[in-house]
Structure 1
Amino acid sequence: MASNTDACVPAALTDFVFDLYDSVTLSQLTEEQSRLYNSEFSDLSKKYFSNAPWPSPQAIASECNGDPLFLAFYRELTHRHWHAVSRPTLRDRMEGWDVYRELFDELLMVAEDDASSTSQPKLFILPQWAFDILHEFVYQFQGFCQFRTTLYASAHKHNLFSGEPSPKAPHHVVENLALMRQEDAADVWSVETVMYYLQRLVAIGTKSSVPVYQYFGIFASVTMSRLECLLADYTSSLQSLAPILEATAVVTKADQPVMTFSEIVSSVFNARLSLTYHAGISFLMLRRYKDAANMVGSLCSFMQRGFKTGQLRKQRNSDQLYKNYDRMVALLAIVTQLCPQQNLVEEGIAKVIREKHGTALAKDNYTELFTFCSPKFVSPVIPDFNKTGPTENVYKLQVNLFETEVASQSTYRELRSYLNLYTSIGVSKLTSFGNDEKSLLALKLKMRQLESNNADAPSLKDASLKSALDIHFYLENDEVVHIDEAEKQRRFENYFMSQSAQSFDIRKDACAVDTTL
């Protein structure tokens, strides 16, 4: 992407590129690179490029000795900025594919060289930077898939596949259709290649002891989980997290404390948010309601405290954090309704659920909640842009599957309310209420679900079948139903733990205040 600023590059920009290159290749200091990446790049973008692209890599190549890997990082960084401040065209989206392929090809090649070298690694970038690259990679893949599907539907609507296209067809639709009909367009943002790069990065990250490759491996697992969730492969979405949650390796860097893979994810809040949200959606769709509540509920409680103390307002894109928090609260509203249990979520979150979604839950309006909290699912299928054909709405398909799953929930809730009134009840009497033995069996089977033995680790390997019912019942002689409500436990420890965590966060912020004069 050529830029009009190539002819006159500001001195502040060349200084920034020189310093950033030094922090990536020579000094490799975390604090210095954090200042450059998180502050100076944003400040320069606002001052010089608020609605324009940054100079091309060729314009600043002299500041980094023409290093091809650094130039690939620079190209991705500036492309990501332009993608955020503009309305990307199809050409921009296709160029993005070239940007990421160039970066990952260079990165994988250098990683192989570093693996066979005993000298200092040639590269260091922040965990936040590594996550931002991979997060944007999957985001642009998702956007391209949605754009492609919309374009195919528009071309079909305007009869552009026949011999006599509509004269009213928009010019941009005709132009974009011509681009997608080019021979090399079929390979752009193909799901197979996207997965190939993520899997290669995961493999290198799990074998390497170099921090930067470990970062890419860790966050490639997080984004792979997100990708599988978007493709509606929920089992694979959870399995993609194994390199993080089951890892025994640690990350060691001279100017940073030793950290586990899980701690690295927690150090980048957006990565922790992405992992938790997509794991929660996967648990929900796999009918693992208690795991979804444990996973998402703990993060929502943390975010609720962070919003109260102002800690999360310091994060980049804090407005987006509020939106993601609301989506996860809606997800928890569904889970707590489908799996009614004492202390499934903290009381503070339960109160928010009642305030925000009490009306929808009272009306059994699960579809409204699901469409609000679910991701924008995509189809990996590439349409044939040379002929018309049926279009599949993957998002509506997932909504329909969810509606089928919850269709009988009102019946189960009514049955459960009757059982709560009795210690024993005759089958004939229960039948007069509109329920029978089949409903009892269906309720038991519906609430039989996989549950992680460790609530903090969403692992398919360490899970077993358990009942999520909070009311126990059995049938005697096919005549009488005996009910034994599960013992209610008052979880005082939840309150004290939440208060301790809140006090720790406040103390941490207070200690960080500079009191020197």
Structure 2
Amino acid sequence: MDAATSELVPDSVKSFVVHMYRHIREKNVYEIHQMYESSFQTLSERLFKETAWPVVDAVAPYVDNDHVFRLLYKEMWYRHLYAKLAPTLKQRIDSFDNYCSLFQVVLHGVVNMQLPNQWLWDMVDEFVYQFQSFCQYRAKMKNKTEQEIGLLKQNDQAWNVFGVLNFLQALVEKSTIHEILQRDKEGLEQFTANDGYDYNGGSNVLKVLGYFSMIGLLRVHCLLGDYHTGLNCLLPIDISQQGVFTSVIGSHITTIYHYGFANLMLRRYVEGIREFNKILLYIYKTKQFHQKSPQYEQILKKNEQMYALLAICLSLCPQVKLVEEAVNAQLREKYGEKMSRMQRYDDEAFALYDELFSYACPKFITPSSPSFEEPLVNYNQDAYRLQLKLFLYEVKQQQLLSGVRTFLKVYSTISLAKLASYMEVDEPTLRTILMTYKHKTHSVAANGKIMSNADVDFYIDDDMIHVIDSKPSKRYGDYFLRQIAKFEGVITELDRVKLE
């Protein structure tokens, strides 16, 4: 190695790669995790805030030019580049090639490593993020140079949607993660109890990548607007229980965010409310522990987006009884006024639904290749506009139901004729409205069963409407705990005043 190449690599980086390489060979997961989470971030902040890390060829001599380590180093290298700088088209394509090589080694090679769950999750998460970023970049055709257009034509398979889906699906299938989770459920495997790690000297890489790839598939299908398929990909993971997905905060939040959003778009509001409530309560209780995490800003952003989605769900399906007091208090503070305006279903209400959806939805993508014919146009917003249009169409349909719900809440029984006169419609039209109410407040669950989202339900017998109102069970615990905390605060303040 010549002196010039040696000078490109600071001593701290040499030390980092040498130690990281050694720990990977020794399967020392704890040390790898420390270096990955702490040392890499510290060096990035100190030395590479506005520049890329040294290229892989510069550090390769310090790690025996090891092929797998080169791929892992480049994976981190490109991730840092995306986070701190603006990648060029060539770098976007090279990053895809590196992921292809890395996943090929995992799928077809003998990988004898144990890597931290955080790193394995970041690989899948970043793979999907870079795919999304590439689709957005490629869809902005207006100001592309001839060189960029030539490179896009030449590399039409880079970040191809089928290639991305195939890699994620191959990792799921090759890892046999479906069978592993089934055996785990039957008590024949310790996958969940061990957080996916192999304590018998084996490797966790393929199994855990397969596991996280199911979440990656959910996310990709949400970006494409295929919510049914996305939720089906997640079926083997029981999200109502602790699992490997909850061992990494980013994985936990991404899973529930996309799961909840998909349920919202499929009108399974109750399921969306339940899961948003659980994750928002979890973040509320634990976010102070993640303040030093590199993911902290992302946690806060997703937290705010999920409050917006919860506000939408509760405006369309007023099941406040499903929401914990602490979450409800935060929700009222953030969106209380907007939610009351959203109940009116006028132009202002639709504008608020539009605003919250636009803020909280995923960055939808159009995965197809652009037309290279003149004139070149931007189409990066097309997928988002389509999903927004579908969502607002659903909201408009719900407008008709708000009047029905108001009357049903007042009566336990009411004749069709009387309700028709109140609503100023004839009886056949009212029957149509009531059928629409039934349709819109019920949805098909993932297991094929019909589930109700209605806070007020009814049945018709001999032209009489019989109302079934689900009374919320009162929860006093949270209320008393909040009042006790306030009381203790008042006493502390009084003691402080006395001392002064």
TM over 0.5: yes
Matched, 1:149 2:136: no
Matched with 1:159 is: none
What is the one-letter code of the residue matched to 2:282?
F
Q: Would the alpha carbon gap of residues 422 and 98 (structure 1) be closer, same or farther in structure 2, given more than 3 Å must change?
A: same
Q: 2:161, 2:89 → 1: CA distance?
A: 18
Comparing 205-214 with 324-333, greater Cα deviation is found at 205-214
What is the one-letter code of the residue matched to 1:412?
L
Q: 2:472, 2:124 → 1: CA distance?
A: 45
Q: Would the alpha carbon gap of residues 289 and 6 (structure 1) be closer, same or farther in structure 2, given more than 3 Å must change?
A: farther
Please report how far the alpha carbon of residue 143 of structure 1 lies from its aligned counterpart in structure 2 after TM superposition. Answer: 0.5
TM-superposition CA deviations, 1:263-298 (whole Å, max 9, x none): 221110000111100011111111111111111210
Matched, 1:426 2:415: yes
Q: TM (normalized to structure 2)?
A: 0.82
What is the one-letter code of the residue matched to 2:267?
R
Matched, 1:225 2:193: no
Q: 1:297, 1:240 → 2: CA distance?
A: 23
Matched with 2:170 is: 200
- The RMSD of aligned alpha carbons is 2.6
For structure 2, which runs of at least 5 residues remain unmatched after alignment? 181-197, 343-348, 486-500
Q: 1:494, 1:242 → 2: CA distance?
A: 33
Q: 1:409, 1:358 → 2: CA distance?
A: 20
Please report how far the alpha carbon of residue 241 of structure 1 lies from its aligned counterpart in structure 2 after TM superposition. Answer: 1.4
Matched with 1:254 is: none
Please report how far the alpha carbon of residue 33 of structure 1 lies from its aligned counterpart in structure 2 after TM superposition. Answer: 1.0
User: 2:106–2:205: 8 Å Cα contact kept in structure 1?
Assistant: no
Identify which of 208, 221, 231 aligns with 1:238: 231
Q: Would the alpha carbon gap of residues 288 and 136 (structure 1) be closer, same or farther in structure 2, given more than 3 Å must change?
A: same
Matched with 2:204 is: 211
Q: 2:376, 2:18 → 1: CA distance?
A: 52
User: 1:303–1:312: 8 Å Cα contact kept in structure 2?
Assistant: no
Matched with 1:450 is: 444
Matched, 1:475 2:464: no
Please report how far the alpha carbon of residue 233 of structure 1 lies from its aligned counterpart in structure 2 after TM superposition. Answer: 0.9
Identify which of 107, 111, 130 aligns with 2:120: 130
Please report how far the alpha carbon of residue 7 of structure 1 lies from its aligned counterpart in structure 2 after TM superposition. Answer: 4.3
Superposed, 1:32-111 pairs within 5 Å as 32-110=31-109
What is the one-letter code of the residue matched to 1:410?
Q
Please report how far the alpha carbon of residue 389 of structure 1 lies from its aligned counterpart in structure 2 after TM superposition. Answer: 8.3
Q: Secondary structure at the match of 1:369?
A: helix
Matched with 1:187 is: 157
Q: Would the alpha carbon gap of residues 242 and 482 (structure 1) be closer, same or farther in structure 2, given more than 3 Å must change?
A: closer
Q: Would the alpha carbon gap of residues 204 and 486 (structure 1) be closer, same or farther in structure 2, given more than 3 Å must change?
A: same
Q: Would the alpha carbon gap of residues 389 and 81 (structure 1) be closer, same or farther in structure 2, given more than 3 Å must change?
A: closer
Matched with 2:147 is: 175
What is the one-letter code of the residue matched to 1:375?
P
Comparing 417-426 with 15-24, greater Cα deviation is found at 417-426
Matched with 1:287 is: 267
Matched with 2:364 is: 377
What is the one-letter code of the residue matched to 2:156?
A
What is the one-letter code of the residue matched to 2:305?
R
Q: Secondary structure at the match of 2:60?
A: helix
User: 1:5–1:54: 8 Å Cα contact kept in structure 2?
Assistant: no
Matched, 1:393 2:386: no
Q: Secondary structure at the match of 1:407?
A: helix
What is the one-letter code of the residue matched to 2:238?
L
TM-superposition CA deviations, 1:154-204 (whole Å, max 9, x none): 1xxxxxxxxxxxxxxx5x53432232233xx21111011111111121123
Please report how far the alpha carbon of residue 342 of structure 1 lies from its aligned counterpart in structure 2 after TM superposition. Answer: 4.6
Q: Would the alpha carbon gap of residues 5 and 328 (structure 1) be closer, same or farther in structure 2, given more than 3 Å must change?
A: farther
What is the one-letter code of the residue matched to 1:438?
T
What is the one-letter code of the residue matched to 1:339?
C
User: 2:270–2:319: 8 Å Cα contact kept in structure 1?
Assistant: no
Q: Would the alpha carbon gap of residues 374 and 178 (structure 1) be closer, same or farther in structure 2, given more than 3 Å must change?
A: same
User: 1:134–1:223: 8 Å Cα contact kept in structure 2?
Assistant: yes
Q: Secondary structure at the match of 1:483?
A: strand
Please report how far the alpha carbon of residue 493 of structure 1 lies from its aligned counterpart in structure 2 after TM superposition. Answer: 7.5
Q: TM (normalized to structure 1)?
A: 0.79
Please report how far the alpha carbon of residue 226 of structure 1 lies from its aligned counterpart in structure 2 after TM superposition. Answer: 0.7
Aligned residues: 441
Please report how far the alpha carbon of residue 313 of structure 1 lies from its aligned counterpart in structure 2 after TM superposition. Answer: 1.8
Q: 1:427, 1:6 → 2: CA distance?
A: 86
Matched with 2:314 is: 336
Matched, 1:318 2:307: no
Q: Secondary structure at the match of 1:449?
A: strand
Q: Would the alpha carbon gap of residues 104 and 354 (structure 1) be closer, same or farther in structure 2, given more than 3 Å must change?
A: same
Q: 1:55, 1:389 → 2: CA distance?
A: 37
What is the one-letter code of the residue matched to 1:179?
L
Q: 1:349, 1:225 → 2: CA distance?
A: 26
User: 1:5–1:55: 8 Å Cα contact kept in structure 2?
Assistant: no
Please report how far the alpha carbon of residue 495 of structure 1 lies from its aligned counterpart in structure 2 after TM superposition. Answer: 7.6
Matched with 1:327 is: 305
For structure 1, which runs of at least 5 residues remain unmatched after alignment? 115-121, 155-169, 248-259, 452-459, 503-517
Q: 1:106, 1:475 → 2: CA distance?
A: 62
Q: 1:359, 1:342 → 2: CA distance?
A: 15
What is the one-letter code of the residue matched to 1:414?
G
Q: Secondary structure at the match of 1:383?
A: coil
Matched with 2:328 is: 350
Q: Would the alpha carbon gap of residues 413 and 95 (structure 1) be closer, same or farther in structure 2, given more than 3 Å must change?
A: same
What is the one-letter code of the residue matched to 1:178?
G
Matched with 2:345 is: none
Q: Secondary structure at the match of 1:53?
A: coil
Q: Would the alpha carbon gap of residues 408 and 246 (structure 1) be closer, same or farther in structure 2, given more than 3 Å must change?
A: closer
Higher relative contact order (CA 8 A, sep 6+): 2
Please report how far the alpha carbon of residue 32 of structure 1 lies from its aligned counterpart in structure 2 after TM superposition. Answer: 0.9
Q: 1:9, 1:264 → 2: CA distance?
A: 37
User: 2:325–2:478: 8 Å Cα contact kept in structure 1?
Assistant: no
Q: 2:403, 2:290 → 1: CA distance?
A: 41
Please report how far the alpha carbon of residue 107 of structure 1 lies from its aligned counterpart in structure 2 after TM superposition. Answer: 2.5
Q: Would the alpha carbon gap of residues 359 and 342 (structure 1) be closer, same or farther in structure 2, given more than 3 Å must change?
A: closer
Q: Secondary structure at the match of 2:321?
A: coil
Q: Secondary structure at the match of 2:449?
A: strand
Q: Secondary structure at the match of 1:408?
A: helix
Please report how far the alpha carbon of residue 216 of structure 1 lies from its aligned counterpart in structure 2 after TM superposition. Answer: 0.9
Identify which of 370, 379, 399 aligns with 1:410: 399
